[in-house]
Amino acid sequence: MRKLLSGCPTAVLAATMLAVPVRAADKPADKPAAKTAGSQSGLPAAISAETKDCLGCHRGDSPGIYQQWGQSKHYRANVGCYECHKADKGDVDAFDHNGLLIAVLVTPKDCARCHEREVAEFAGSRHSKAGRIIGSIDNHLAEVVQGNRAFKTPGFPNGNSAAAVNGCWQCHGSPVKVGKEGKLDAASWPNSGVGRINPDGTEGSCSACHMRHDFSAAQARQPNTCGKCHLGPDHPQKEIYEESKHGIAYSANVDKMNLNSAKWVVGEDYTAAPTCATCHMSATRKQPVTHDIGMRISWNNRPVLSVRPEVADAKMGLAGAKVGWEKRRANMKDVCTACHNETWADSFYTQYDATITLYNEKFAKPGMALHELAKPLLGPGFSSMIDFVWYEIWHHEGRRARHGASMMAPDYTHWHGTYEIARNFYGHFIPLLNELVEKFKGSTDANKAAKAQALHAKIDEVLNSPDHQWFLGKGPKNEPPAAGGHK
């Protein structure tokens, strides 16, 4: 592998390296003052001798990396290959590479040498904890139901599920295992999952959003950056955004977004449309950029029942446990009011909260109680259709309804959301539960028969409640269509 290339003596390189292909204005002489990096003390005054070494070979061996880096602000600030990839003796993943000790991974700890604030905020966020999914119900699906342990590598002699490696891990991140001479285990690398568990003990991967090697803020501000992970049936934020007026305004006005501006304050540097970053991360006239994406949201809509973010953060042991939802909502409203008035934003939240209440009260609470009562009559998780139906009600359509309402996408709220919840609740869940009761109510196993009785009683109670009695033909008759309305 890491063979010495005889054809690239350093003297030749030093001469050729000035050929870094950058625009005239980007020449080192015109370098803008480094503003964003936190502790700049160690910044080299010129491209370091070590980096010149790297460039000598990599300019020809990996022209893609070389060109991307050549366009980056890092290049202009003399931050080169070695400044990021250098390793200390004793780092688990360090290896000797043509005479210099380096590592392939550049973890948040490495970036923190210059970007302390961003790293600290990120480390306090749920993004950095996204690798802690072992033990979740979704994980059981990927490891057992969908997968097996046949994917064996030296770092994982007991094997992994290929479904988890190529699916979950690529978004959430996984532990990265290191073999001999810094070689990274192929099951755990490549991986830029946002909560990757690094060999140095840090959590997360900055290149989940900042694509190497240009590490450009302009790229990270675009919705596609988040769309690698935030899409699909269970969290379609990208699709939701695209169908919302905000997404429409963005695509109609990309050229007015001033994405390349060093400072990117909504209401000052652009007003045409908000992107994901605008609302969740970027600066307003009152707030600086934040790398803790939880600081502007007032609900966590991932669990069966929506909960306040401080409750979810407490479970994870995060400092966010001390930041109440009211404060987070005020942070978000401060974004909205760069473009809208306060009443508009307040009324939006009133509409959104009503959808959360509807979903929680009408479907999530009764559904959860029914599924709990059904469990003792079912086999292991996901061995019965009831498990799949209930999972999709809360995890797929239940989230879609909530996410759609939170980001102004009526089609997701309704047709992909509440409509499908209702169809599956009344058309599949209740009928399957009734079948289960029928199957066990006369069971010779007294325990099972009693469980079936309890389930039966709960089904009765739920269906006779005001929200559901229509299903039994009880309660107020449906309103007739308004005069002149659709039939």
| Positions in 427-486 near ligand HEC (CB under 6 A) | none
Whether the CB-CB separation of 308 and 315 falls below 8 Å is answered with no
Token pair for residue 18?
């000035």
Which residues in 287-316 contact ligand HEC (CB under 6 A)? 289, 291, 293-294, 297-303, 309
The secondary structure element, H or E, covering residue 438 is helix 430-441
- Interface with ligand HEC, residue 273, by CB under 6 A: yes
Alpha helices in 62-135 (DSSP H): 63-70, 73-76, 81-85, 108-111, 116-123
- Interface with ligand HEC, residue 371, by CB under 6 A: no
Name the residue type at position 80. G
The residue with tokens 């060999």 is: 199
Which residues in 210-239 contact ligand HEC (CB under 6 A)? 210, 212-213, 215-218, 220-221, 223, 225-230, 232, 235, 237-238
User: Measured in whole angstroms, how far is the alpha carbon of residue 224 from the centre of its chain?
Assistant: 12
- Interface with ligand HEC, residue 414, by CB under 6 A: no
- Interface with ligand HEC, residue 188, by CB under 6 A: no
Beta strand 151-153 pairing with 100-102: unpaired
* Per-residue three-class SS string for 174-207: CECCECHHHCECCCCCCCCCCCCECCCCCECCHH
Shortest Cβ contact with ligand HEC: which residue? 294
What backbone phi and psi angles, to 5 degrees, belong to 300?
-110, 110
Q: How far apart are CA 38 and CA 281, in angstroms?
A: 18
Contacting ligand HEC (CB under 6 A), which of 165, 178, 335, 455? 335
Q: Which residue, 68 or 459, has its beta carbon nearer to ligand HEC?
A: 68
Least distance CB 458 / ligand HEC (angstroms): 26
Who's near 85: CB < 8 A, 6+ residues apart? 54, 102, 103, 104, 106
Q: Which residue, 108 or 155, has its beta carbon nearer to ligand HEC?
A: 108
Q: How far apart are CA 480 and CA 207, in angstroms?
A: 56
Which residues in 107-146 contact ligand HEC (CB under 6 A)? 107-108, 110-111, 113-115, 118-119, 122, 126-127, 129-130, 133, 136, 138-139, 141-142
Q: Which residue, 2 or 439, has its beta carbon nearer to ligand HEC?
A: 2
Q: How far apart are CA 42 and CA 309, in angstroms?
A: 38
Q: Which residue, 77 or 386, has its beta carbon nearer to ligand HEC?
A: 77
Q: Which residue, 234 or 467, has its beta carbon nearer to ligand HEC?
A: 234
Contacting ligand HEC (CB under 6 A), which of 94, 165, 197, 332? 332
The piece of 35-43, 371-379, 433-441, 478-486 that touches ligand HEC (CB under 6 A) is 35-43
Least distance CB 481 / ligand HEC (angstroms): 25
Which residues in 88-107 contact ligand HEC (CB under 6 A)? 97-98, 100, 102, 104-107
The secondary structure element, H or E, covering residue 450 is helix 446-463
Q: Which residue, 211 or 449, has its beta carbon nearer to ligand HEC?
A: 211
Token pair for residue 410?
């009526």
From residue 284, alpha-carbon distances to 55, 78, 335, 417 in Å are 39, 30, 6, 32
Least distance CB 366 / ligand HEC (angstroms): 21
Q: How far apart are CA 383 and CA 389, in angstroms?
A: 12
Q: Which residue, 205 or 424, has its beta carbon nearer to ligand HEC?
A: 205
The piece of 337-345, 362-370, 380-388, 428-436 that touches ligand HEC (CB under 6 A) is 337-345
Q: Which residue, 212 or 441, has its beta carbon nearer to ligand HEC?
A: 212
Q: Which residue, 231 or 373, has its beta carbon nearer to ligand HEC?
A: 231
Indicate the DSSP class of residue 72: S
Indicate the DSSP class of residue 477: P
Alpha helices in 24-98 (DSSP H): 49-61, 63-70, 73-76, 81-85
The piece of 168-176, 382-390, 411-419, 436-444 that touches ligand HEC (CB under 6 A) is 168-176
- Interface with ligand HEC, residue 321, by CB under 6 A: no
